[in-house]
Amino acid sequence: MRHNIAVLMTVHNRKEGTLNCISHFYANTIINEYDIDFYMVDDGCTDGTAEAVNEKYPQVTILKGNGNLFWNRGMHFCWSEAMKKHHDYYLWLNDDTILFCNALETLLKDCTDSGGDSIITGCCCDTKDPTKVTYGGSNNRVLVAPNGNIQEISMMNGNCVLVPSNVCERIGILDPFFLHKAGDNEYGYRAQNNGIKTYASSSFIGSCDRHDVICKSYDPRVSLKERIKHSKSALGPRPKELFYLYRKSFGIKKAIQKTSLIYLNIYVPSLTNGFLSFRKRLKDVNIWNGMVNRISILLYHFFDVFPCHFSGYILMYHEVVETANENICRITPERFRDQLLKVQNKGYAFVTMNEIYSIIKENKKMRKFVALSFDDVSESVYLHAFPILKSLNIPFIIYLSCDLIDRDGFVKEKQINEMMDSGLCTIGSHGITHKMFSTLSNDSLDYELKESKKLLEAKFKVNVEHFAYPYGKLYSIGTHSVKKVKQYYLTSATSIPVKLNMLSHLNTHLLGRIVPEFNNSNFLN
């Protein structure tokens, strides 16, 4: 007996992306083994998306929205229409998710492995780094990386989700109370509260880049009036909807607690940003095993709020691209240059990581200093950041993942040599495969640390003495990896958003870094 699948999608003015998404869906290897009903809500497109889809894929049922449905209510409308006909499975699909040719096979097999009565959330990777998780399922707000088996999750993203009909019959469809965001989260919570498990897929099912931006509602640089206005918009936090989400899923106490923090963040962002950041750090620390590391990191964050005889920062960047918004990984060349000039105008000296080590370990005197670092490294660093750094004579370090060098979109060996020849660039290691260190065995760690150092030193004829942990958060580092790194490198950089302080000399292998204007809004003001 052939099973049938209803594919659900809501679109608004993404013609090329939508066509690409649908094309990759129909390219799945087992597509002809199932009866497919594809439903797409055209929520007020003005760029010809609906017409282009209808012309190229006439089998797609196009439903007209009013332009004000946004994602969640568009998907609710879509699902309601699909429910008028029996289907064995319902597949949510975002128009910016590019499925692999085995995606459908993976999701259906994972659903069968789960017993056929669970929700499967597809894990998505970065388009430039296929080892990096961008969307899928998470536990304790940490994205779950696929490991070959389905893994139970506590929260899910709605980029690509397979819902069996028996689940739909038990708990219904998406709640139309939500306009754009949080409906996918609520559906997962609702399932769990009804004894239905949610799982992350066993392998990556496609790619979808992150859309992390600084929330305007929480940005202290924005006026209170604009923050309040944005908080009520489709892209804002919409506190009333979040209160409803937490009350429905976890009870009134949690709803009051969470919503109060959201309102505080809107009305007093400069105060609450520091509190919430410190609170999050304490949560991260609880994941660590080993009392020594727990105590040292707690002290590190505690003393971060006290004055120090020096004021030092390591700034972290990934890409410098022309089309970037205020993304935590991407920045425009104009904004990048502006940040560097602001740092200079505030009296900070730009230093190398070797100088950072001397200041911390050898008590070299320097009052205010900053080091620049780039992770991975995107080709945009050479194309857009390097000319600016060269014109301003500013030193910097590039943390290279060996497997990414010379790949499409990443820096090339010839470009690295040119940056080295300027005398401004230091090479650091970012491992070989960009895997999460907390998941690796001791042998795999030795390979990542020792071989990456050996390969980089042989290729570029320099000593590689500095390291940056892939992903960089406490949960992704692992106690055992810190000990290993110390065997090969002078310093190790994390993504823990703290400045260097009086306790940095206790452990130069857990140095904090900030993303300017994201982790520390007062730094450049």
What is the DSSP annotation of 197-266?
-EEEEEEEEEE-----B--GGG-TTS-HHHHHHHHTSTTS--HHHHHHHHHHHH-HHHHHHHHHHHHHHH
Cα end-to-end distance, the chain, whole Å = 65
Burial class (CB in 10 A: 0-12, 13-18, 19+), 140: exposed
Q: How far apart are CA 96 and CA 94, in angstroms?
A: 5
Q: How far apart are CA 210 and CA 199, in angstroms?
A: 20
Check if the beta carbon of residue 492 is closer than 8 Å to that of residue 508.
yes
pLDDT of residue 302: 59
Check if the beta carbon of residue 403 is closer than 8 Å to that of residue 434.
yes
**CA 367: distance to chain centroid?**
34
* Residue among 24, 53, 160, 498 at smallest CA distance from 301: 498
pLDDT tens for 281-327 read 444 444 433 443 444 455 555 555 555 666 789 999 999 998 755 55
pLDDT of residue 323: 74
Find the helix or strand (DSSP H, E) in which 422 lies. Answer: none
Q: How far apart are CA 111 and CA 474, in angstroms?
A: 32
Locus of tokens 């779950």: 144
The strand pair at 396-400 and 368-376 is best described as parallel
Find the helix or strand (DSSP H, E) in which 82 lies. Answer: helix 70-82
Collapsing DSSP to helix, strand or coil, 466 comes out as: strand
Check if the beta carbon of residue 3 is closer than 8 Å to that of residue 77.
no
Q: How many CB atoms lie within 10 A of CB 169?
A: 9
Q: What is the CATH number of domain 4-207?
A: 3.90.550.60
Close Cβ partners of 386 (under 8 Å, ≥ 6 residues apart): 419, 422, 425
User: What CA dihedral angle connects 42, 48, 49 and 52, to 10 degrees?
Assistant: 120
Residues of the chain with CATH 3.90.550.60: 4-207
* Residue among 153, 140, 131, 147 at smallest CA distance from 200: 153
List C-alpha distances in Å: 352 to 31, 371, 372, 425: 54, 6, 8, 9
Burial class (CB in 10 A: 0-12, 13-18, 19+), 421: exposed
List C-alpha distances in Å: 110 to 158, 186, 191, 202: 17, 22, 17, 7
pLDDT of residue 304: 57
Cα angle 92-97-101, degrees, rounded to a multiple of 5 = 90
pLDDT tens for 438-482 read 888 888 999 999 999 999 999 999 999 999 999 887 667 877 788
Strand partners, 63: 41
Q: Residues in the chain with pLDDT < 70?
A: 212, 270-310, 324-328, 363-365, 474-475, 502-503, 505-506, 517-525
Check if the beta carbon of residue 501 is closer than 8 Å to that of residue 302.
no
Q: What is the edge-to-edge ordering of all strands in the sheet holding 155-156?
A: 142-143, 137-139, 155-156
pLDDT of residue 299: 57
Residues of the chain with CATH 3.20.20.370: 288-506
CA-derived radius of gyration, the chain: 24
**CATH number of 288-506, picked from 3.40.50.720, 3.40.190.10, 3.40.1010.20, 3.20.20.370:** 3.20.20.370
Close Cβ partners of 291 (under 8 Å, ≥ 6 residues apart): none
Q: What is the token pair recorded at 399? A: 């943390």
pLDDT of residue 204: 96
Find the helix or strand (DSSP H, E) in which 478 lies. Answer: none
What is the 8-class DSSP label of residue 454? H
